[in-house]
């Protein structure tokens, strides 16, 4: 199910949108442009994450480093199950 919205767009913007998308009406052109923008941004963010691969050292004992030795689940005083 979609969401209905109202927009006031400059005629030049709408005409350019129709021309660049090749769509016949403004609603379809705007939908297509939004989908393409979202897809491009997702790919860029995934690419940014991939570029970090191998450049970050992860601490294998991150939980203890963050919470201390007695906050581990199941340890005395943690409130977790033993």
* pTM (predicted TM-score): 0.59
pLDDT reported for residue 34: 95
d(C-alpha 66, C-alpha 59), whole Å:
10
Confidence tier at 78 by pLDDT (50, 70, 90) = low
CA distances 80 to 23, 64, 68, 70, 74, Å, are 58, 15, 15, 11, 5
pLDDT reported for residue 62: 75
Domain boundaries, the chain: 11-56
pLDDT at residue 39 is higher than 90: yes
pLDDT reported for residue 45: 93
In this predicted model, what pLDDT tens digit does every residue of 3-20 receive, in sequence order?
A: 899 999 999 999 999 999
């Amino acid at each position: 199910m979609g969401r209905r919205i109202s927009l006031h767009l400059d005629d030049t913007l709408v005409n350019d949108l129709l021309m660049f998308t090749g769509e016949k009406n403004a609603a379809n052109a705007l939908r297509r442009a939004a989908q393409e923008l979202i897809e491009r941004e997702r790919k860029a963010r995934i690419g940014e994450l991939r570029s970090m691969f191998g450049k970050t050292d992860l601490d294998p004992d991150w939980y203890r480093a963050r919470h201390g030795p007695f906050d581990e689940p199941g340890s005395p005083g943690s409130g977790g199950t033993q």
